[in-house]
Amino acid sequence: MAALPHSYISKSQTQSEGTVKVSVTGLSEQDIAAPSNFGGPGDIWSPEDLQSAAISSCFCLSFRAIARAAHLSWHSIDSEVELVLAKAGKNVVFTEIHNKVHLVVDDINDREKAEKCLHKAESSCFISASMTSESFLKIDVSQRG
């Protein structure tokens, strides 16, 4: 890992109508729109979708690094993140993060080690750690085969 601090830059551009064009150097441009809950089309990524995806992918990447360091043998991980957007005082904010995780390990006898790694990944994911939302982790561990 490169020394901290790190910097991440994106650019957004839009007109009075239509999608927002988001770009990051070296990556393809992405169309973004409001989610259907806010009158958007519902078939284009929204900022809310991107936030949820950022949490689930950060969690998986954090788990991968932690499992490697712990010498945990595993096959696959699925993380389904639900963000709850609600009114908190005068603001509308994400109040809850629900992460349902299914981990497939090579040996079910590693369940306890796997669960420790999953909990550590939850606390290590800097995307969700940067939010004030209450976080809930539901774990399902099964054996490959």
Mean pLDDT in residue range 85-108? 97
The 10s digit of each residue's pLDDT in 113-134 is 999 999 999 999 999 999 999 9
With a cut of 90, say whether residue 145 has pLDDT above it: no
Q: Report the alpha-carbon distance of residue 100 to residue 36 in Å, rounded.
A: 23
Domain 47-143: which topology?
GMP Synthetase; Chain A, domain 3 (3.30.300)
Q: What is the pLDDT at residue 68? A: 98
**Residue 101 pairs with which residues in a beta bridge?**
79, 139
Answer for the pair 135, 128: CB distance below 8 angstroms, yes or no: yes
- The predicted-structure confidence for 16-65, as pLDDT tens digits, reads as follows 999 999 999 999 999 999 999 999 999 999 999 999 999 999 999 999 99
> What residue spans define the domains of the chain?
10-45, 47-143
Q: Where does the pLDDT of residue 103 fall: very low under 50, low under 70, confident under 90, or very high at 90 and above?
A: very high
pTM given for the model: 0.93
**pLDDT: is 141 or 1 the higher one?**
141
pLDDT band at 1 (very low <50, low <70, confident <90, very high): confident
Backbone angles phi, psi at 39, to 5 degrees: 90, 5
Q: Residue 23 has what pLDDT? A: 97
Q: HSE on the CB side for 117, CA within 13 Å? A: 28
Arithmetic mean of pLDDT over the chain: 97
